[in-house]
Amino acid sequence: MSIIKTMKIWFATNNIHKKKELQAILNRSLHIPSEHRISFDPEETGDTFCENALLKARELKKLLGKKNDPVIADDSGLCVDGLDGRPGVQSAYYGESGGKKLTSQQKNLLLLEELGDSKIRTARFICAMVLLFDENRFFVVQETLEGEIVKSHNQIRGTGGFGYDPIFNIPKFSRTLAELSDEEKNNISHRGKAGRSIAKFLQNNG
């Protein structure tokens, strides 16, 4: 049996939704810091999704000490053309100031309010994903999912997914990302595409 197949793989997140999605894509168990009582809350100071993904992977690797386990990390966000690419790398912190956190629903309503009646509603989710073995040995992939922002709060739809999914419409499905099944979403999503590239790399190098 290959070494990689027997290794414990860590995912540098405390987001259980992301863990569930990526486990389904990779078809293997992942370990996240919170499940092992590891305090993990790195400051995402990168200017790009790739920089933040690598930053998170390296931080968790450091916390794991001498363990040889590989670490997967991702950074993703929503880039809206009508908002000049925002919220972008600040998607998780959009609208927050003074330490006040917003719920996903509040962020979605704020984004729709800021976009207003703009006719430019094209947008994309971007996901950069890193598979880190050590400081100087890693594999990086970045993928996108193209779509558009719904026109008003009355068109916010769906209970699946998380984050900005309910306001992100997929024209070919005529549904929001939050209305798709887990299988449908994983087949087309930015994280799904990136995860499959990671899975292929693990398979080919295992």
Could you count the other beta carbons within 10 Å of the beta carbon of residue 18? 19
Range of the domain at 49: 3-204
Counting residues of the chain whose pLDDT is more than 70, the rounded percentage is 97
| pLDDT tens digits along 42-77 | 988 999 999 999 999 999 999 998 778 999 999 999
pLDDT of amino acid 73: 97
**Cα–Cα distance for residue pair 104/163, rounded to 1 Å:** 5
Residues marked as catalytic = 75
Burial class (CB in 10 A: 0-12, 13-18, 19+), 178: buried
pLDDT category of residue 1 using cuts at 50, 70 and 90: very low
Query: Is the entire prediction scored with pTM above 0.95?
Result: no
Q: Are 43 and 105 a contacting pair, CB within 8 Å?
A: no
What mean pLDDT is reported for the chain?
91
pLDDT category of residue 205 using cuts at 50, 70 and 90: confident
Work out how many domains the chain is built from and give that number: 1
CATH of the domain at 176: 3.90.950.10
**CA of 190: how far to CAs of 67, 126, 136, 170, in Å?**
30, 6, 25, 13
Give the neighbor-by-neighbor strand order of the sheet with 10-11: 10-11, 71-80, 122-134, 137-149, 168-170, 175-176
pLDDT category of residue 98 using cuts at 50, 70 and 90: confident
Mean pLDDT for 27-43 is 91
